[in-house]
């Protein structure tokens, strides 16, 4: 047993909530209006302004938002959506749930983002959309991606779950392009507990999301039940129950004002990890993208490859847990999971870069209130483990 096991457990992520969030949630509880209402309206207006988006629609999660955005495309059986294997299940699942086929394209081994040149080769007669994921908060190369989409008449639904306040060539994600979906899960860069927002330039998609997030009703509950609203409504489709509550928006309103502070703290820690690992040649880390960008530093990832580190990734995860340090696993390449293999015929070897990365990647602890002492503990634990592994 080392002294680490006596230290408190260090999680890989932790939300930073202040008295403002707590007081606002209490105010919601006391107000008598818990679900979608004035605070959701205010939060949507704040997000629209902050992200520079033509339309912003709050939803119960990014998964719900991706599902609704995909449904709005009206996919028919056999229609294809191009995406990356190095992502969370929700990206692929929502394509399937909306009736589409996820067509995977390997990642760039440097940035871990979808390889846009390979996207060009994967476009076929049934391709309807592209769903890029801005992995860890590093933007995908959107100019060539959008020119491909324009050339072939494809929709682009950006999975921005990692990428709130990511900038591509000086522009914030959400302020340009087709459609974006951001996540407010507690592990993400800002939180509402569970929650998400869909931003889009397309008024028809905005309208579809707005109706489908609440039972297919043409008006939300606030409009129906507040004094200003009318009780009369129409159902125009069998919709979902994907609305955000005022309890969630109460948290989000205050998180949004502190988001840049969160990202600054993450960036400082990421740059410090970079310095601390500068001469660790055994440890592969993603390379910055070769275009102007602002990274949102949702994740700080390294590859633990057995030949170089002397230990395989899964044993490394266990060894760090023994030292009371939590790590994330983002992500095992999607084509290795049972469902996608059985349904779409994917098999090991199909996407070698994503597969190699997914088999060795770990997300190190990174959150706004993390101290440099905690960070030093992570690095010291890694040094011990690698040293012991090499014998
Ligand atoms: C977290 C995440 C999602 C889902 O977000 P939820 O808000 O938890 O539904 C989707 N895609 C990616 C890449 C994610 O990391």
Q: Does 306 share its domain with 273?
A: yes
Distance 87 CA to ligand 1 centre (A): 9
Whether 2 is in a domain gets the answer: no
Q: Would you say residue 358 lies in a domain?
A: yes
Please report the pLDDT score of residue 391 as a whole number: 78
Q: How remote is the CA of residue 126 from the centroid of ligand 1, in Å?
A: 26
The domain boundary residue, chosen from 218, 241, 257: 257
Last residue of a domain, one of 222, 257, 292: 257
**CA 89–ligand 1 middle distance (angstroms):** 8
Q: Is 294 found in the same domain as 225?
A: no
How many Å lie between the centroid of ligand 1 and the Cα of residue 63? 6
Q: How far apart are CA 363 and CA 372, in angstroms?
A: 17
Q: Looking at the structure, do residues 125 and 188 belong to the same domain, yes or no?
A: yes
Q: How many domains does the chain have?
A: 2
Q: Are 292 and 186 in the same domain?
A: no
b/e sequence 111-139, b meaning 16+ C-beta within 10 Å: bbbbbbebbbebbeeebbbbbbbbbbbbb
Strands (DSSP E) found in 287-358? 293-294, 301-303
Could you tell me the CATH number of the domain that includes residue 198?
3.40.640.10
The continuous run of DSSP H or E covering 380 comes out as: helix 372-390
Which domain-ending residue is among 257, 284, 301? 257
Edge-first strand order for the sheet with 55-59 is 55-59, 196-200, 179-183, 155-159, 127-131, 80-83, 101-104
Q: Which atom of ligand 1 is nearest to the CA of 184?
A: 7
Q: Could you list the residue range(s) of the whole structural domain that residue 300 is in?
A: 260-390
Contact 283, 313 (CB under 8 A): no
Together in a domain, 332 and 347:
yes
82: CB partners within 8 A, 6+ apart = 103, 104, 105, 119, 122, 123, 127, 129, 130, 131
Q: pTM here?
A: 0.97
Local confidence pLDDT in tens for the 391 residues of the chain: 455 667 899 999 999 999 999 999 999 999 999 999 999 999 999 999 999 999 999 999 999 999 999 999 999 999 999 999 999 999 999 999 999 999 999 999 999 999 999 999 999 999 999 999 999 999 999 999 999 999 999 999 999 999 999 999 999 999 999 999 999 999 999 999 999 999 999 999 999 999 999 999 987 666 777 777 777 888 989 999 999 999 999 999 999 999 999 999 999 999 999 999 999 999 999 998 999 999 999 999 999 999 999 999 999 999 999 999 999 999 999 999 999 999 999 999 999 999 999 999 999 999 999 999 999 999 999 999 999 998 7
Burial of residue 331 (number of CB atoms within 10 Å: 0-12, 13-18, 19+): buried
Q: Indicate which atom in ligand 1 lies nearest the CA of residue 87.
A: 13
Does 190 share its domain with 79?
A: yes
- The ligand 1 atom at the shortest distance from the C-alpha of residue 64 is 9
Give the total residue count for the chain: 391
Pocket test for ligand 1, best of 61, 88, 331 (most atoms within 8 A of CB): 88
Residue among 137, 111, 134 at smallest CA distance from 267: 137
Closest ligand 1 atom to Cα of 65: 9
Give the Cα separation of 292 and 141 in Å (integer): 10
Q: How far is CA 112 from CA 11, 31, 299, 313, 314, in A?
A: 24, 46, 12, 17, 20
Q: Is the CB of residue 98 less than 8 Å from the CB of residue 233?
A: no
Residue matched to tokens 């030949």: 307
Q: How far is the CA of 100 from the centre of ligand 1 (A)?
A: 19
243 and 317 share a domain? no
Task: Confirm if 73 and 96 have CB atoms less than 8 A apart.
Answer: no
Q: Is the peptide bond before 331 cis (omega within 30 degrees of 0)?
A: yes
Distance CA 159, CA 182 (A): 7
Provide residues with CB under 6 Å of ligand 1.
Answer: 61-63, 87-88, 90-91, 133, 159, 161-162, 183, 185, 196
Q: Is residue 84 part of a domain?
A: yes
Residue 183 and residue 68 share a domain: yes
- Asked if residue 328 and residue 279 are part of one domain, the reply reads yes
Strand segments (E) across the chain: 55-59, 80-83, 101-104, 127-131, 155-159, 167-168, 171-172, 179-183, 196-200, 293-294, 301-303, 361-363
Q: Which of 13, 59, 60, 62 to mutate to test the pocket of ligand 1 (most atoms within 8 A of CB)?
A: 62
Check residue 233 and give its pLDDT. Answer: 86
Residue from 85, 86, 185 whose mutation best tests the ligand 1 pocket (most atoms within 8 A of CB): 185
Per DSSP, the three-state class of 159 is: strand
Query: Does residue 99 belong to any structural domain of this protein?
Result: yes
The number of beta carbons lying within 10 Å of the beta carbon of residue 387 is 10
Q: Is residue 269 part of a domain?
A: yes
Residue 199 CA, ligand 1 centroid: distance in Å: 15
Give the nearest ligand 1 atom to 183 CA.
7
Ligand 1: residue whose CA is nearest its atom 1? 161
pLDDT at 222: 65
- On whether residue 156 sits in a domain, the answer given is yes
Based on the fold, state whether residues 285 and 357 are members of the same structural domain: yes
Question: Is position 68 within any domain?
Answer: yes
- CATH number of the structural domain spanning residue 265: 3.90.1150.10
Cβ partners under 8 Å of residue 218, min gap 6 = 211, 233, 234, 235, 236
Domain identity same for 266 and 169: no
Residue 329: which H helix or E strand, with range? Answer: none
Residues annotated as part of the active site: 188
Same domain, 88 and 221: yes
Residue 135 lies in a domain: yes
User: Which pLDDT score, from 0 to 100, does residue 315 have?
Assistant: 98
Which residues does residue 156 pair with via DSSP β-bridges, in sequence order? 130
Whose Cα sits closest to atom 8 in ligand 1?
A: 185
The CA distance from 13 to 365, in Å, is 6
């Amino acid at each position: 047993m080392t002294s680490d096991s006596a230290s408190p457990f260090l999680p890989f992520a932790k939300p930073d909530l202040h008295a403002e969030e707590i007081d606002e949630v209490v105010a919601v509880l006391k107000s008598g209006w818990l679900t979608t209402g004035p605070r959701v309206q205010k939060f949507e207006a704040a997000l629209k302004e902050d992200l520079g988006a033509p339309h912003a629609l709050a939803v119960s999660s990014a998964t719900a938002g991706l599902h609704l955005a995909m449904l709005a495309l009206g996919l028919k059986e056999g229609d294809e959506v191009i995406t990356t294997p190095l992502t969370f299940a929700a990206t692929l699942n929502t394509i399937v749930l909306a009736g589409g086929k996820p067509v995977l394209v390997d990642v760039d081994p440097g940035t871990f983002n979808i390889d846009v040149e390979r996207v060009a080769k994967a476009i076929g007669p049934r391709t309807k959309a592209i769903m890029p994921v801005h992995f860890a908060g590093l933007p995908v190369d959107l100019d060539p991606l959008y020119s491909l989409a324009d050339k072939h008449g494809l929709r682009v639904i950006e999975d921005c779950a990692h990428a709130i306040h990511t900038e591509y060539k000086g522009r914030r994600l959400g302020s340009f392009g087709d459609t974006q979906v951001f996540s407010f899960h507690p592990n993400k860069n800002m939180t509402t507990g569970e929650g998400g927002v869909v931003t889009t330039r397309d008024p028809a998609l905005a309208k579809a999301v707005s109706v489908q997030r609440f039972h297919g009703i043409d008006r939300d509950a606030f409009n129906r039940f507040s004094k200003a609203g009318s009780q009369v409504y129409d159902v125009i489709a069998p919709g979902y129950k994907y609305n955000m509550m005022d309890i969630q928006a109460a948290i989000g309103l205050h998180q949004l004002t502190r988001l840049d502070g969160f990202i600054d703290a993450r960036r400082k820690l990421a740059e410090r990890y970079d310095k601390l690992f500068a001469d660790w040649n055994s440890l592969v880390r993603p390379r910055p993208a070769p275009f102007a960008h602002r990274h949102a530093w949702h994740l700080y990832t390294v590859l633990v490859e057995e030949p170089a580190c002397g230990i395989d990734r899964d044993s490394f995860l266990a060894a760090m847990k023994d030292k009371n340090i939590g790590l994330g696993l983002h992500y095992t390449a999607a084509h290795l999971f049972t469902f996608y293999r059985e349904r779409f015929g994917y098999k090991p070897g199909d996407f070698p870069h994503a597969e190699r990365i997914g088999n060795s990647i770990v997300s190190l602890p990174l959150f706004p209130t993390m101290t440099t002492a905690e960070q030093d503990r992570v690095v010291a634990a890694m040094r011990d483990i690698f040293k012991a592994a090499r014998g």
